[in-house]
Amino acid sequence: MFLEQSRKGEPKKGWIEVIAGSMFSGKTEELIRRLRRAEFAKQNVEIFKPTIDVRYSEEEVVSHNANSIRSTPVPSAANILLMVGDVDVVGVDEAQFFDNGIVEVCVQLANQGIRVIVAGLDMDFAGRPFGPMPALFAVAEYVTKVHAVCMHCGELAQYSHRKSAGESIVVLGEKDIYEPLCRRCYNEETKQDK
């Protein structure tokens, strides 16, 4: 496949970076930080998020610390390919909410010489791998696992414990519905939930 030429006449090198962890671990904060650095370097950047995520803003990616960056909401992964213009970097937030097509979209963009940065929850509320995230780990050149702080004991947390009842995988919410927990505290809480 022909790769777009860089400024020096060499093919641009694309790759995939995945930022994953539990809720309140700083995934979106890290995504925004990397995208801002790319913008500062005068790279063309486009950011996408699933239309389902309207917790803070319909058209911005917003971290829990209220940092934000403009984005384009899309209903499915395929829409990203239709909307990507002449870019150096593509950011994707809340990747776990996209269909499995997000994996091929990221691979295709990277093969075209684009740096792709993806952030998402690695596990759902039940501690199971979440949607396309495991496949994204497999195809990524770089994987960063970030951790929250356990709300019960203060250790590193990797689980997003849902405090409300229900079996639906997707329940949008914040600290009123979810809390980050370490393995021990998560196991204790889920025993009590049953």
Return the domain boundaries, the chain. 15-147
CATH class for the domain made up of 15-147: alpha beta
Rounded to two decimals, what is the model's pTM? Answer: 0.84
Decide if pLDDT at 84 tops 50: yes
pLDDT digits (tens, 9 = 90+) for 90-144: 999 999 999 999 999 999 999 999 999 999 999 999 999 999 999 999 999 999 9
Distances (CA, A) of 182 to 92, 126, 156, 179: 26, 13, 6, 10
pLDDT digits (tens, 9 = 90+) for 156-193: 999 999 887 666 565 555 556 889 999 999 999 988 65
Q: Which residues form the catalytic set?
A: 94
Burial of 168 by CB count in 10 Å (0-12 exposed, 13-18 middle, 19+ buried)? exposed
